Amino acid sequence: MERAFQVDLRGIVDLLSRHLYASPRVYVRELLQNAVDAITARRALDGGAPAVVSIEPSEVTGDGTLRMHDSGIGLSESEVHELLATIGRSSKRDDLGLARHEFLGQFGIGLLSCFLVADEVRVTTRSARGGPTVEWTGLADGRYRVAPAERERAEPGTTVTLRPVPDMAQWLTGAMVHDLVTSYGDALPVEVSIAGRRVNSGVLPWQRGYPSPAARAEALRAYAERVFGFAPFDVIDLAVPEAGLTGLAFVLPVAAHPTARSGHRVYLRRMLLADGVDTLLPEWAFFVRCVVDTGELRPTASREALYEDDLLADTREALGGQVRDWLVRLAATDPARLRQFLMIHHLGVKALALHDVEMLRVVDRWWPMETDAGPMTLAEFRRRHPVVRHTATSDEFRALAAVAAAQNLGLVNGGYAYDIEIMRRLPLLDPSITVRGLDPAELATRFEPLDPVLEARIRPFLAVAAETLRSLGCAVVPRCFDPPVLPALYLRSRAAAQAEEMREARSAAGDLWSGVLGAVDATEAADVPQFILNLRNPVVRRLAEAPDPALASLGVQALYGQALLAGHHPLRPEDSAMLNRSFLALLDRAMGGRGAQ
C-alpha cells in the first residue's frame, strides 16, 4: 500500500533557511535573483518592459519592515499556489526539470532564505498575463495563506515585504542593505535603487569602456586593491566561451603559500555568487586571484559554490592554460619581468613545470638553481657539465658543494621543493640530457691517491686511525684533494646508507625477521662509510707524521667528529661520546696534561 511522506514543514523551513545558507546576508542576493529573473521573464514577452528593482529599507517604511519591488512578470493566483507553497518547485525549470540558462535561480528554495532574518514574508504580486493582485503570506513556523490583495498593483510585478525577527532588525536597515546590494548586485543589468537612489553600476569592471589601455590598466589595478586588497603584479584577461565565462586574473605581488587555496570572486550572469570559490583554477595557480562572470557553470543549491561537473573541470583546465600562456608570453617578450615574477612565485611555476613541458622550458631557461658554482639556470649548467648531478637534500649539498666544485664535478642542490622532479623531467626537452643523483662515494673516485713514498711513511698513522675507528664501522681512506682547507670528509654511499638502515631494522626486529634481514645484511657487509683524510691539509699532514700514537688517535677522533658535523650527519651516541672525549683530551694536552683517552 502506497503512502505519502509526512513532512514537518516547520522543520523543512528551518533546515533550508538556517542550515543551507552560511550567513543571513544571502537573503538580499536571493531576493535580487528572484526579481531579476522575473524581469527577464517579462522582457521575453515584452522587450520594452521596465527593468527596475526598488528597495525600501526599514527607515523608509517606518514600520521596521523591508520592501522590495520589481517590474517583473509577476504571478497569478494559481502560480502562487503552485510555486510559493511548494518547496523545490521552480518556474525556472522546463518540463524535463532542466535549468533554463537565462535565469539565475533554479531550485525553488531561494525565498526561504528570507526566514534567516524574518518571521513573516509577504509576497504581493500581479501577473503580466492578466488577473488580480494576489497576496501570499508565509510564516516561519511553516504556515502560509493566500488571499486577494487589499490594494491592486497599478503595474505587473511583485513586492516582497519582510517583517524581521526582533534580534535581526539590523539586517533590514538602509546601510546594511546598501552594502549587500552593492556587493551582490552592482553588475546586474537592471536598475537597482534604495530609497529612490540608484546604487548599482550595471556593468562588470572588464566590460566598461576605457579611453586608453593605460586607463584600463589603472582602473583594474584600483579594482583589485578595493576587492582583494593588493595592487596586482599583472592582470590577465580570461575567456572560456563554452562556459559563457569572461573575467580577469590578478597576479599577486607577493609570495603566496602553495597549500593555501585561492578564493576567487565568481558572478553568475552578473550576480555575485561568492567571494571564496576555490575550485575555479588548478591548485598550482595559487599566485592569482580571479574575478569572473559565467553563464553556464552551475551553482550549488546554496549558491555559494560551483557544482563540480565536467564543464567545471574543463573550465578549470582552460583557465589554467590561459595563465600558463601568459607566463610563456612573458618569457618571450619581457625576460626581466619574468625573472621578477619568478623571484616571487617560483613555487607555482615549478609545480606547473611538473606537468607542462612549456613551463619546464621556462624553468630550465630562466629559474636559477643553487649549484656548486653559485646560482645558475639549468640550461647554463648543462652547457658547463654534460651530466646534471644533484644531491638528495640541502644538507648533503652544503657538505659536498665545495669539494664537488674543486673537482669540477658539477652539482645541483636538490633539496628545494620540486627541483629533483624538474631535473628528472629535463630529458623531455632533450633526450640526450643525463640526470642522476650524486652518490657521495662517487667523489672519492675523483680524489688523487697518495704518493707511494708518503703512504709508506705514514703507514703507522693509518694503522692507528683504522684501529681508532674500527668500532664505529668506518673505513679510513687517505687521499689528496681540493680544497686543502678541508681536513677530512665523511662519505656514506647510498649502498652504505641502505646497509646501515638494514642493520638498524634487524636490531629492532624479532627473531624470525632478524634472521631474514641478517641474510640480506650480509650481502651488504662491504658497504661501509668512508672517512677520507686529506693529506693536502697542513694539520692532517703534521698529524700523520707525528711520532706520538696517542696524539694521532685523539686527532683522528676529533677530525672524525668535525667531519660528521660539517656534513650534517646524525650523531650516534658513540659518535658523540668519541667527539667529547677527544675534545677534552686535546684541551687537557694543550694545558700541559697527558690528555688521557
Helix pair 357-366, 335-353: axis angle to 10 deg: 130
How far apart are alpha carbons 40 and 498 in whole angstroms?
71
To the nearest 10 degrees (0 to 180), the angle between helices 335-353 and 310-333 is: 140
Distance CA 563, CA 465 (A): 14
CB 381 within 8 A of CB 375: no
Is 41 contained in some domain? yes
Residue 377 scores a pLDDT above 80: yes
Q: pLDDT for 526-565, tens place per residue?
A: 478 999 999 999 999 999 998 999 999 999 999 999 999 9
Domain residue limits at 395: 367-438
Shared-domain flag, residues 58 and 98: yes
Q: Which of 198, 233, 250 is the last residue of a domain?
A: 198
Q: For residue 209, is pLDDT > 70?
A: yes
pLDDT classification of 16: cutoffs 50, 70, 90 = low
Which pLDDT score is estimated for 527?
Answer: 73
Q: Taking Cα atoms as reference points, which of 265, 230, 241 lies closest to residue 319? A: 241
Residue 556 in domain: yes
How far is the C-alpha of 230 from the C-alpha of 253, rounded, in Å? 7
- What pLDDT score does 144 carry? 85
Q: Both 52 and 82 in a single domain?
A: yes
Residue 583, amino acid: F
Residue 596 in any domain: the answer is no
> Residue 239: beta bridge partners?
246
Q: Could you tell me if 15 and 122 lie in one domain?
A: yes
Does 187 lie in the same domain as 71? yes
CATH code for the domain of 275: 3.30.230.80
pLDDT, one tens digit per residue, over 316-339 is 999 999 999 999 999 999 999 999
Number of other residues whose CB lies within 10 A of the CB of residue 317:
12
Residue 353 maps to a domain: no
Q: How far apart are CA 160 and CA 564, in angstroms?
A: 78
Give pLDDT, residue 99: 41
> From CA 16, how far away is CA 113, in angstroms rounded?
7
pLDDT at 204 > cutoff 90: yes
Q: Which pLDDT belongs to residue 495?
A: 73
Give the strand pairing for 118-126 and 157-164. antiparallel
Most confident residue range from 80-84, 256-260, 360-364: 360-364
Residue 269 shares a structural domain with residue 187: no
**CATH, residue 95:** 3.30.565.10
β-bridge pairing 191-194 and 197-198: antiparallel
Q: How many CA atoms lie within 13 A of 292 on its CB side?
A: 30
Cell of 39: 524581469
Q: What is the pLDDT of residues 135-192, one digit of tens each?
A: 999 888 878 899 999 898 989 999 999 999 989 999 999 999 999 999 999 999 999 9
Res 110: pLDDT = 72
Q: Distance of CA 6 to CAs 141, 145, 339, 503, Å?
A: 16, 20, 66, 68
CB atoms within 10 A of CB 31: 27
Higher pLDDT, 88 or 277: 277
User: CA-CA distance, 475 to 310, in Å (whole number)?
Assistant: 61
In whole numbers, what is the pLDDT of the chain averaged over residues? 87
Beta pairing, strands 157-164 & 245-251: unpaired
- Is 579 in contact with 563 (CB distance < 8 Å)? no
In the predicted model, what is the mean pLDDT of residues 430-440? 92
Reported as a pLDDT band with limits 50, 70 and 90, residue 5 is: low
Are 204 and 267 in contact by the 8 Å Cβ rule? The answer is: yes
Count other C-beta atoms under 10 Å from residue 68's C-beta: 24
Chain centroid to CA 354: how far? 15
More confident residue, 13 or 355: 355
Are 386 and 470 in a shared domain? no
Q: Establish whether the linkage from the previous residue to 132 is cis, with ω within 30° of 0.
A: no
Phi, psi of 277 (to 5 degrees): -70, 120
Per the CB < 8 A criterion, the answer to whether 346 and 417 are in contact is no
Residue 244 lies in a domain: yes
Q: What is the pLDDT of residue 502?
A: 56
| Amino acid, res. 172 | L
**Does 6 have pLDDT greater than 80?**
no
| Greater model confidence, 7 or 136 | 136
Report the CATH number at residue 401. Answer: 3.40.50.11260
Backbone angles phi, psi at 294, to 5 degrees: -130, 145
pLDDT number for residue 82: 78
pLDDT value at 17 more than 80: no
Crossing angle of helices 459-469/549-566, nearest 10°? 60
Checking DSSP bridges between strand 66-70 and strand 134-139, what pairing results, if any?
unpaired
Side by side, the strands of the sheet bearing 191-194 are: 144-148, 134-139, 118-126, 157-164, 66-70, 52-56, 191-194, 197-198
Q: What's the pLDDT score for residue 70?
A: 95
Q: How far is the C-alpha of 204 from the C-alpha of 293, rounded, in Å?
A: 8
Please, are residues 414 and 398 in contact by the beta-carbon 8 Å criterion? no
Strands 52-56 and 191-194: parallel
CATH number at 544 reads 1.20.120.790
Among candidates 167, 199, 180, which has minimal Cα distance to 64? 167
User: Element (H or E) spanning 564, and its range?
Assistant: helix 549-566
- pLDDT category at 112 given cuts 50, 70, 90 is confident
**Cα dihedral across residues 538, 542, 543, 544: positive or negative:** positive
CA distance 93 to 97: 5
Q: 555: how many CB neighbours lie within 10 A of its CB?
A: 25
Task: Name the residue among 512, 446, 523, 433 with its Cα closest to residue 480.
Answer: 446
Burial 237-270 (b: 16+ CB within 10 A, else e): ebebeebbbbbbbbbbeeebebeeebebbbbbbb
> Based on the domain organization, do 125 and 37 belong to the same domain?
yes
Give me the number of domains the chain comprises.
Answer: 4
135: alpha, beta or left, given left = phi > 0 and alpha = psi -120 to 50?
Answer: beta
Q: Are 531 and 540 in contact (CB under 8 A)?
A: no
pLDDT surpasses 80 at 301: no
Whether residue 343 is contained in a domain is answered as no
**Which pLDDT score, from 0 to 100, does residue 229 have?**
93
pLDDT of residue 324: 92
Shared domain for 308 and 377, answered yes or no, is no
Last residue in a domain, options 142, 163, 198:
198
Lowest mean pLDDT among 87-96, 357-366, 454-463, 557-566: 87-96
pLDDT band at 92 (very low <50, low <70, confident <90, very high): very low
Q: How do residues 467-508 score in pLDDT, each as one tens digit?
A: 999 999 899 999 999 999 999 999 987 776 666 655 555 565
| Co-location of 52 and 19 in the same domain | yes
Q: End of a domain among 198, 226, 243? A: 198
387-390/374-377 β-pairing: unpaired
Residue 504 lies in a domain: no
Residue 347 in any domain: the answer is no
Give the sign of the dihedral formed by CA 384, CA 368, CA 281, CA 201: negative
Please check whether residues 104 and 155 belong to one and the same domain. yes
Helical (H) or strand (E) element with 319:
helix 310-333
3-state secondary structure 331-370: HHHCHHHHHHHHHHHHHHHHHHHCCCHHHHHHHHHHCEEE
pLDDT of residue 284: 87
- Statement to judge: residues 223 and 193 lie in one domain: no
Please check whether residues 15 and 56 belong to one and the same domain.
Answer: yes
